[in-house]
């Protein structure tokens, strides 16, 4: 696996590069946002570890540019900015996960593995509910024939909901599906992902796809 690290702190960058290489991954480390954007757009990476406070171009702008250009490479934000507002901004910009410094490398590695499992699973089948179709072979989503661009995390959430269409999918079930854990801290992050997913798949004039079941979780109603 090839990982792009965009981090201007020499100590953290060197430590990350060494850690990933010791686990058998190829690493490219760049130290400013402009170079990071150029490298990420080359489409040669399996994942990006991105700081937000970068010279030349802030990490949040790098994220916006990547997603606007249709680049779907999984991105984990790794930053000292740890407020709820910062987390929401990062996820809304298109991050697949958000890790706050100081951090445990073993946790970061586990988060990376979870993100990659979601993005690389490609069973040969499709799922649908109403006019929404999820093609698992090509990892494409359409609504009423129009393609909808999702991040790997959003795609994975929609897949789980469609697999259980007509049933309530609890928040814990989704957290375990995404992070292989019932970690309660993921709940607020999950709600941000759900909001982003709704913003992409819902259409004015069409029935609502994802419904909130108060106190329990979410459900997709095929009707």
Query: In terms of residue numbers, what domain contains 71?
Result: 2-120
Same domain, 43 and 147: no
Same domain, 131 and 108: no
In sign, the C-alpha dihedral spanning 79, 83, 89, 92 is: positive
The domain total for the chain is 2
Q: pTM for the full model?
A: 0.58
Domain boundary among 120, 151, 178: 120
User: CATH number of the domain that 187 lies in?
Assistant: 1.10.10.10
pLDDT tens for the chain, 223 residues: list them. 889 999 999 999 999 999 999 988 889 999 999 999 999 987 678 899 999 999 999 999 999 999 988 888 999 999 998 888 988 989 989 999 999 998 899 999 999 988 888 776 444 467 888 888 998 778 889 988 889 999 988 998 998 898 888 888 888 888 877 775 545 454 578 889 999 999 999 887 777 889 998 888 899 975 4
Domain boundary among 99, 120, 141: 120
User: CATH number of the domain that 13 lies in?
Assistant: 3.40.50.2300
Same domain, 212 and 113: no
Domain boundary among 120, 151, 173: 120
> What is each CA distance from 85 to 81, 179, 206, in whole angstroms?
9, 22, 31
> What CA–CA distance (Å, rounded) separates 100 from 55?
19
Same domain, 149 and 87: no
């Amino acid at each position: 696996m090839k990982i792009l690290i965009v981090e201007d702190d020499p100590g953290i960058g060197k430590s990350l590069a060494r850690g990933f290489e010791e686990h058998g991954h190829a690493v490219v480390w760049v130290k400013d946002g402009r170079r990071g954007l150029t490298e990420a757009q080359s489409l040669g990476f399996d994942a990006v570890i991105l700081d937000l406070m970068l010279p030349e171009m802030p990490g949040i702008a790098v994220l916006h540019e990547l997603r606007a250009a249709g680049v779907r490479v999984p991105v984990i934000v790794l930053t000292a900015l740890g407020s709820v507002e910062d987390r929401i901004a990062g996820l809304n910009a298109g991050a697949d996960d958000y890790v706050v410094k100081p951090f445990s490398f073993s946790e970061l590695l586990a988060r990376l593995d979870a993100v990659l499992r979601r993005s690389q699973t490609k069973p040969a089948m499709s799922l649908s509910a109403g006019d929404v179709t999820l093609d698992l072979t090509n990892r494409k989503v359409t609504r009423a024939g129009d393609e909808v661009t999702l991040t790997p995390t959003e795609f994975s959430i929609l897949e789980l909901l469609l697999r259980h269409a007509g049933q309530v999918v609890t928040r814990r079930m989704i957290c375990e599906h995404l992070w292989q854990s019932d970690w309660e801290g993921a709940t607020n992050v999950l709600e941000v992902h759900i909001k982003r997913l709704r913003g992409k798949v819902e259409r004015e004039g069409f029935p609502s796809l994802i419904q909130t079941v108060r106190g329990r979780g979410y459900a997709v109603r095929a009707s």
